[in-house]
Amino acid sequence: MVNIWEAAPEIIKKFLLYMQTVKNKSEKTVDEYFLDLRTFFRFIKIHKKCSDRYLDLKDVKIDDVDLDFIKKIDILDVYEYMNYLVKIKKNGASARSRKTASLRSFFKYLTIKLKILEENPIKELETPKLKKSLPKFLSLDESKKFLETIKNFNSERVQRDYAIATLFLNCGIRLSELANINFKDISPYDNSLRIVGKGNKERIIYLNKACLSAIENYKLVRGEAKDKDAVFLSRNKKRISIKTIQFLMKKYFNLAGFSHKKLSTHKLRHTAATLMYQYGKVDIMVLKDILGHENISLTQIYTHTSSEQLKSAFENNPLCSLK
């Protein structure tokens, strides 16, 4: 695989290696750090007239960025960059928040870890306020309809697709986690499944009767595989790709009549977590471990009340019977 940050200046490359090896960030996350820093330093070079101001930002090289250049950056330069992200790049709060986090990590690394900056120039930089919204998810009845739609679909690979959807809705695992499941990850002794999540962190979840039944039914028609240990296979008998799973689930969303909901595989994870909390009465700390969250605040978005619960609250008001 091509390393997209090979051409980065040495000071950025060392930071990326630190995030990858010491902080144990995933390859995708480290690549995002690089892309964010590259955009930032491209802008700063033009802003400080260290590059042709009429040059397209994507053509600005940053291989000469060094500590002396970085020491000239102050908070006002960063505010100009944030203004650029809003006015020119049209970045929303979420995108700007991520870019802010990348800058924070980089300058914290230079200031605290390497101690080559006397003062962090962006320590007062505020993170853009994100709009808090409830996660989109399927109701219990919609979840049943979704699974029924897949089961009734006329396809030779319907057992595979049904098993994939069943694991999403019963286990709340991430898309990449599901695609990477191997048979060796499933323990026949206690029906546990070893999941390798973000940052290569491992966790154990347990397969219920629905999951075990769906997997066994799929194994009956799975056939020979080029990737023998991969649980879910593509048409050419290799490990199924993330894009293929996304395509399949979108197809079934549409067939079930949910196209207007703008659903995704991640929304199936939201659905599983919501159903566990609302119907399974799963403790929030247990749910945190099931989902593989580092911070409990990430899990708390699933504690939202349902419309039925809200309606019940109003109907149970002791004054509701007065006319």
Which pLDDT belongs to residue 134?
Answer: 63
Q: What is the DSSP string of 241-295?
A: PHHHHHHHHHHHHHHTT-GGG---HHHHHHHHHHHHHHTS---HHHHHHHHT-SS
Give the residue-averaged pLDDT of 177-181. Answer: 94
Per the annotation, the verdict on 144 as an active-site residue is no
Give the residue-averaged pLDDT of 256-277. Answer: 88
Vertex 177: Cα angle to 185 and 103 (nearest 5):
135
Residues 47, 145, 293, 304: which is the catalytic one?
293
Residues 85-116 have pLDDT tens digits of: 999 889 888 888 889 999 999 999 999 999 99
Check whether 2 has a pLDDT greater than 60.
no
Per the annotation, the verdict on 302 as an active-site residue is yes
Q: Which CATH class is domain 10-113?
A: mainly alpha
| Neighbouring residues of 196: CB distance < 8 A, sequence distance ≥ 6 | 177, 180, 202
Residues 250, 251, 266, 304: which is the catalytic one?
266
- At the topology level, CATH places domain 140-310 in hpI Integrase; Chain A (1.10.443)
Residues 42, 174, 222, 288: which is the catalytic one?
174
Per the annotation, the verdict on 269 as an active-site residue is yes
Residues 192-228 have pLDDT tens digits of: 999 988 777 889 999 999 999 999 999 999 988 788 8
Residues 47, 198, 250, 261: which is the catalytic one?
198
Residues 290-320 have pLDDT tens digits of: 888 887 777 777 666 555 565 666 566 666 6
Give dist(CA 246, CA 167) in Å, integer: 14
Where are the chain's structural domains? 10-113, 140-310
Counting residues of the chain whose pLDDT is more than 70, the rounded percentage is: 89
Residues 96, 269, 270, 288: which is the catalytic one?
269
Q: Which residue has the higher pLDDT, 46 or 4?
A: 46
Structure tokens at 126: 């505020």
- Structure pTM? 0.70
